[in-house]
Structure 1
Amino acid sequence: MEYEERYRQAQRPKYDCLLFDLDDTLYPLSSGLAISCRKNIEDYMIERLGIEKSKIPDLCNLLYKNYGTTMAGLRAIGYDFDYDEYHSFVHGRLPYENLKPDPVLRSLLLSLPIRKVIFTNADKVHAAKALSKLGLEDCFEGIICFETLNPTHKSTVSDDEDDIEFAGLITTTNTATVMTTTSTSTKIFDIIGHFSQPNLGSRLPKTPIVCKPSEDAIELALRLANINPQRTMFFEDSVRNIQSGKRLGLHTVLVGTSQRTKGADFALESIHNLKEAIPELWEADKKAEVGYTGNVAVETPVTA
């Protein structure tokens, strides 16, 4: 029995979950969605929040750098807006027609005998639409998205984890409108001034939004989806997201470059290079073809 238990452990695949970012990971940066998204964010800041156009470049850079997303940064420094409206403005006008069905990637994903989950900072409407355009909507168990990490009940963030949605792709129920978590503030924190004239006694305000690359966001996602980081491979195009994941024990794959950076266990120029670069992911499939009788391993013939 002791031998059999050791044999079972030896045959156990190294990974039992693959965690995939969506944008610029499952499709290339050359699709143009990232550029369009950035332009839409800038337009929202000007048209809906009344921010001066001349301040936009510096402001976007500082918010993204310090808060993970521009949206999280805007909320932190005092701007009050409806989350659903923001996502509709920013993602609703993206050139989704640039995304084409990807049968090669679809075949790769479906051939992997491992649990697969999407983990994105975007809202679930965008995630579902992008996956549908790529023809990958049925390749994943579910989606960890903005609504998953920022659950709402009426106009306040819920503290009850039972309210948190792990958005399976077959889910059709509508989530509640995501409202801001504090009352409107007329005082906006001057983050540009904060960095141009550093004050040792001044601290950056915190954001109510939970998102990558925050380690808290990644830990929450892992817990909600019941994912063991030591047995999970994390695919991302963002170096800082990769590094946060690595610190939490995830095995990491940087997508979009062949240059492996600090925190990345692997680097792929394209997600299409997956099988050539990491053939071990298909080990579980091979091991499934091997059985044993008593203490002797026996190959099981594969029928056509």
Structure 2
Amino acid sequence: MEYADLFNQKPKYDCLLFDLDDTLYPLSSGLATAILQNLKDYMVEKLGIEPTKTDDLCNLLYKNYGTTLAGLRAIGYDFDYDEFHSFVHGRLPYENLKPDPILRNMLLSLPYRKLIFTNADKVHALKALRILGLEDCFEGIICFETLNPIHKNSVSDDEDDIYFIGSTSTTKPTTSNSANNSQIFDIINHFAQLNPSGILPKTPIVCKPSENAIQLALNIANINPQRTLFFEDSVRNIQAGKRLGLHTVLAVPDLWESDIKSEAVYTGNLAVETTVTA
């Protein structure tokens, strides 16, 4: 191959797909810990779940359904999604997040489409990106509302969907904030059995790490997985993305600290293996 051809080759990627929480900011911010505590408080205060069960319930729902919200809906709880997100994210210590000019400059220097793909709601995503100073670094945000739009049975071609954020209407599956105890599937007791049998109830929520959720996000944003690099802090989300053809980067959030990022300089090529730690 001629030496000049090295600079005329088509880039390997044309899109960078980023998770948000614990990927674009470090765990040391304390937001992850606060989210978990807020989830437990919501379960106790709004759904009437016994405090002694919240640890096991959060763990089992997250492992089996991707998010606690998705799991709670699966096992029988009905609640207002906006109220849930407001409770869980509305009281986070956002003051712990700081503008990140180094990451901002790094992102702006990369000549690729850049998108956010998060299970969180749009209010949280926009607020976190704004505080980090990254709100204009991304073409769009694929979030909870994007994958779970109300009053829509399919992806719309409406102009509002260009930003992938989804409906601005309040998401209210029911008017009830709880459920009859007899209708709740006891997932803790289910897994406490020596040999759990039976099929777990399905959730109406679309979210990572479901391959259906990832494929839907790719379709909405018109993304070619073979030419996309997917940054995630979750191994299972990475694995699901790989099964759909995405190239992946397992992002360790604490490595986004400034002293490490200051050594990262864009050189014109994005040389990353299929799965790496960044």
TM-score by length of 2: 0.86
Question: Please, which of 255, 269, 277 is the counterpart of residue 283 of structure 1?
Answer: 269
Residue 255 of structure 2 aligns with which residue?
A: 269
**1:223 aligns to 2:219 (yes or no):** yes
Aligned-partner Cα distance in 2 for 1:176–1:196: 40
Is 1:73 aligned to 2:71, yes or no?
yes
The answer for the alignment partner of 1:232 in structure 2 is: 228
Q: Give, as a single letter, the amino acid of the residue that structure 2 aligns with 1:177.
A: T
- Per-residue CA shift, 1:27-73, capped at 9, x if unaligned? 00100000001000000000000000011111111000000001100
Encode CA deviations 1:152-174: one digit per residue, 9 max, x unaligned. Answer: 01xxxx322117864639x8x96
Paired position in structure 2 for 1:138: 136
Tell me: CA distance 1:206–1:163, structure 2 relative to 1, closer, same or farther (3 Å): farther
Percent sequence identity over aligned pairs: 69
Alignment of 1:243 onto 2:229: no
Decide which structure has the larger Cα Rg and report it: 1
Task: State the Cα distance separating 1:185 from its structure 2 match.
Answer: 4.9
Cα 1:58–1:80 change in 2 (3 A) is same
Question: Are 1:159 and 2:157 an aligned pair?
Answer: no
Partner of 2:98: 100
Distance 1:200 1:39 in 2: 28
> Which of 165, 179, 189 is matched with 2:172 structurally?
179
State the Cα distance separating 1:283 from its structure 2 match: 2.7
Task: Give the root-mean-square deviation of aligned CA atoms.
Answer: 2.8
Q: Is the 8 A contact 2:66 2:208 kept in 1?
A: yes
Secondary structure of the equivalent of 1:128?
A: helix
Counterpart in the other structure of 1:295: none
SS at match of 2:116: strand
Quote the residue 1:253 is aligned against. Answer: 249
Would the aligned equivalents of 1:143 and 1:167 in 2 still touch at CA under 8 Å? Answer: no
Amino acid at match of 1:168: Y
Match of 1:294 in 2: none
Q: Give the counterpart letter for 2:67 in structure 1.
A: T
Task: Go from structure 1 to structure 2 and tell me whether the alpha carbon gap of 1:150 and 1:241 turns closer, same or farther (over 3 Å shift).
Answer: same
Matched position secondary structure for 1:152: coil
Give 1:278 deviation, angstroms: 9.5
Q: 1:120 aligns with which of 118, 126, 131?
A: 118
1:195 matched to 2:191: yes
Per the alignment, in what secondary structure is the counterpart of residue 269 of structure 1? Answer: helix
Residue identity in the other structure for 2:74: A
SS at match of 1:161: coil
* Counterpart contact for 1:143–1:166, Cα < 8 Å: no
2:205 partner letter:
I
AA matched with 1:269: L
- Higher share of residues assigned strand: 1
Unmatched tracts of structure 2, length 5 or more: 271-278
**Aligned partners of 2:63, 2:162: CA distance in 1, in Å?**
28
The answer (yes or no) to whether the contact 2:126–2:135 under 8 Å persists in 1 is yes
Distance 1:166 1:32, change over 3 A: farther
The alpha carbon displacement at 1:275 in A equals 9.4
160, 168, 173: which one aligns with 2:163: 168
Report the 3-state secondary structure (helix = DSSP H, G, I; strand = E; otherwise coil) of the residue aligned with 2:85: helix
Deviation at 1:201, TM superposition (A): 4.9
Query: In the aligned structure 2, how far is the partner of 1:102 from the partner of 1:277?
Result: 14
Counterpart-to-counterpart distance in 2, 1:239 and 1:201: 27
Matched, 1:50 2:48: yes
Unpaired segments of 5 or more residues in structure 1? 1-6, 258-267, 285-304
Alpha-carbon distance change, 134 to 200 in structure 1, aligned in 2, over 3 angstroms? closer
Distance 1:245 1:77 in 2: 26
Quote the Cα distance in structure 2 between the aligned partners of 1:198 and 1:176.
45
Partner SS, residue 138 of structure 1 = coil
> Would the aligned equivalents of 2:120 and 2:143 in 1 still touch at CA under 8 Å?
yes
| Cα deviations by residue, 1:122-167 (Å, 9 ceiling, x for unpaired) | 00000000000000110000100000000101xxxx3221178646
